[in-house]
A = this chain, B = another copy of it.
Amino acid sequence: MIHFDCDYMAGAHPEVLAAIVNNNLVQTAGYGSDAFCAHAKDLIREACGAPEAAVHFLVGGTQTNSTLIDALLRRTDGVVAPDTAHINVHESGAVELHGHKVLVLPSHDGKLCAIELQQYLRNFFADDTHEHMVEPGMVYITFPTEYGTLYSLAELEEISTICHDYHLPLYIDGARLGFGLAASPDVTLPDVARLADVFYIGGTKMGALFGEAVVCTNPELLHRFFPLQKAHGAVMAKGRLLGMQFEALFTNDLYLRIGRHAVGLAQHLRQAFERHGYAPFIDSPTNQQFFMLPNTLIDRLLPHVSFGYWGPRGESESHVRFVTSWETTPEDIATLEALL
């Protein structure tokens, strides 16, 4: 059986695991106040070209989103996001549980449109009754999006400019950031650091056991973050585990190596499907590929291959998702193609 369900099915990339194993017996203080974390933060700041940035480590994506959104917003403000955003659909209402509304704009293959954002903000503040409405307090986008798509550098710059015109922090959910950076023709990590006010470098889906590194280039925005992180249950006692893993990911370019590996194989996978007449229904340059396949083919694959089933489309076809990761091999793609 080969697996394309998602990018978090195995443990850690061997270089990441080695960092944990090799340092297992070292004793350090808790809660992230150790030398591993300090060094990992330095490596991240360097990779971002952001020597003044604050870096915080959290455990998982939903936790990171809901804690950061709670930290960045004033009490009654909301977060603007495309309607397909992970925070709006697949986080069990974590943003709302902590008191905030997700203010949705249309999604274009997962992306927010800068012009629609600007229009929404202009209309909001022009509305005489806006004090009775939830005020937009920040903007949330994902890079890459939930559909594997990417913003161009120009698109990110436009959105960033609009946010700053309205004094709204721009937050980028980078759960799969490394796949986006590996696939993008023009967006680099320093670009992300320059254009976002806060973003996170996803670890869980990029070869770590767990862990997300939040980067905040405007540290005033996260003034006194620790108590909020703790109250959200988002502080690890053995915080060093996060430091060790991100040290490994940011040593010898591992983070981008993992990104390039998975993205390269995803394109091979896409070409394999295309060779057999199955074009993707979204044009994704990253490690997630979306197809509409005949149910007969799906039935033929299922004994040998696992992947994401996204529901029927009509009588005889269904939407599916195939995902590659650091553990996918060229042999996996070949085996899959032999079954098509």
Residues of A within 8 A of B (CB): 3, 5-6, 8-12, 14, 17, 20-21, 23-30, 59-64, 66-67, 70-71, 74-76, 78, 89-94, 96-102, 126-129, 131-135, 204-205, 209-210, 224, 226-228, 230-238, 240-241, 309, 311, 327
Contact = CB atoms under 8 A, between A and B. Distances in A.
Given A9-B29, A20-B209, A59-B59, 7 more contacts: A11-B25, A63-B234, A64-B233, A96-B96, A96-B134, A204-B238, A232-B233
Contact of A25 (B10, B60, B96): B10
A93 B71 contact: no
Contact of A11 (B78, B102, B205, B241): B241
Nearest to A8: B237
Contact of A238 (B128, B129, B209): B209
A216 B78 CA distance: 26
A98 to B, nearest CB: 8
B21 A17 contact: yes
Given A17-B24, A204-B238, A226 B131 contact: yes
29 contacts: A3-B27, A8-B30, A9-B30, A11-B20, A17-B21, A20-B209, A59-B233, A61-B237, A62-B230, A62-B233, A63-B234, A66-B233, A71-B75, A75-B75, A75-B231, A91-B230, A91-B231, A92-B231, A94-B230, A97-B99, A97-B231, A99-B99, A126-B311, A128-B309, A132-B227, A134-B227, A209-B241, A210-B238, A233-B234
